[in-house]
Amino acid sequence: MSDSSIDGPTRVYAKPTEGHVSLGRGVRQVLFLVPMTVLFALLFFGLPVRQRTVGLTAGAIVAVLWNVVVSGVRVAAQWERGVILQLGKIQDVRGPGLLYVVPILESVQFIDTRTLVINIPRQKVITRDNVPAEIDSALFFQVNDAQKAVISIQDFRFAVSQYAQAALRDVVGGLSLDDLLSERDQIQTQIGAIVEAQVQEWGMHIDSIRLQDIELPEDLKRMMSRQASAEREKRATITKADGDRLAAQSLAAAAQIMEANPIALELRTLQSIDSLGASPSNTVILFPMELSQALGNLRAKPAPEE
C-alpha cells in the first residue's frame, strides 16, 4: 500500500522535498526479515527431512500473512501528519512518530507541515497604463490543517499556485507602471491578503509572496534610462545654479565689507600677494595702492580754465 497516496500508486513529485520521506520502510523490513529468518531456520533445521516440505510451505503462508500485517507500519517525520482514511472516510490525523494503518481497510496520505515554497512561473501582465511586464515571484505558505488540505482541495500545491497567479494579475492590472516599480512591498502584502482569505478554507496559511523580478520591454527600458539620465542632468544643473547664486551672494557681501573697511581690502590684497609668491616661477610687480589712489584723485579733478 502506498505511503503517500490514498487512491493509487505513489505520486511522483516535481521536487524531492515535496514527497513523503518513507522512514517506515526500514522498520517494516526489519520487522519482516528478522522473525521470518528465525522461523525458517527453525523449520529447516528443527524438522525431520520428510516434514521439511510441509513445514516450509506452512512457513511461506505465515510469511505472506506476516508481510500483510507488517505492511501497515508507518513512520511520520517530525514535520509530517498522516491523514487516515478508513474505507474512504476520514478516520484520524496521526503523527509524528510510529503509527499503524490497518491493511486493506485503511490508507494514509502524509502532509508536510513545514513552510513550503512554490515558484510562480514568469507570467505576462498588463498594467493600468497598458504597459506589458513579465513578473517572476515565489510563494511561501504552510499547511495548518492537514485534514482540510486533503478533503477540501484536490492538489493544494497546484491550487494555491494558480490562485496566487490570478491574484497577482488582478492586483498588478489595477496599478500603473510607476506604482508597480515603487510600491513592491505594498503589492506583495495586498496579494498575500487576497490569497490568504481563500486558502484558509483549505487549511493553509500564507506566510508571504515575494516579487523576485519584473522584466520590462527593451524599448521601455531605454526610454526609462534616458528619462533617468535627463533627471540627473536636471538636478546637476539646478545644483550648479544654486551654487553660483550662493557664491555671487557671498562675493557681493564680501565686496560691501571691503568697501566699508579699507583695511580689510588691504589684508585681502596682502593674502593674494603671499599666495602668488609661493611659486618661484611667478614674477610679482607691486604697485603701491596710495599711488593708485593719487592718480585717481588727479583724474577726478577738473581741468583749470584758461
Residues 9-30: pLDDT tens digits?
333 334 433 566 677 888 888 8
**Burial environment of residue 262 by CB neighbours within 10 A (0 to 12, 13 to 18, 19 or more):** exposed
Q: Which three cell numbers stand for residue 86?
A: 478508513
Report pTM.
0.62
Question: CA quadruple 148, 153, 159, 164: dihedral positive or negative?
Answer: negative
Average pLDDT, the chain: 79
Lowest mean pLDDT among 116-120, 156-160, 185-189, 263-267: 263-267
Return d(Cα 158, Cα 141) in angstroms, integer. 12
Return d(Cα 185, Cα 173) in angstroms, integer. 16
* Region 146-171 average pLDDT: 89
Q: In sequence order, which residues have a C-beta less than 8 Å from that of residue 5 and are 6 or more positions away?
A: 11, 107, 109
Question: Closest Cα to residue 7, out of 91, 75, 108, 145?
Answer: 108
* Region 252-259 average pLDDT: 75
Residues 137-149: pLDDT tens digits?
899 999 999 999 9
- Statement: residue 176 has pLDDT above 60: yes
**Burial environment of residue 150 by CB neighbours within 10 A (0 to 12, 13 to 18, 19 or more):** buried
At 305, is the pLDDT very low, low, confident or very high (cuts 50, 70, 90)? low
Whether the bond into 96 is cis, omega within 30 of 0 = yes
CATH 3.30.479.30 residue ranges for the chain: 115-220
Return d(Cα 243, Cα 239) in angstroms, integer. 6
* Region 4-13 average pLDDT: 37
**Length of the chain counted residue by residue:** 306
Evaluate whether 5 touches 109 at the Cβ level (below 8 Å): yes
Please give the class, per CATH, of domain 115-220: alpha beta
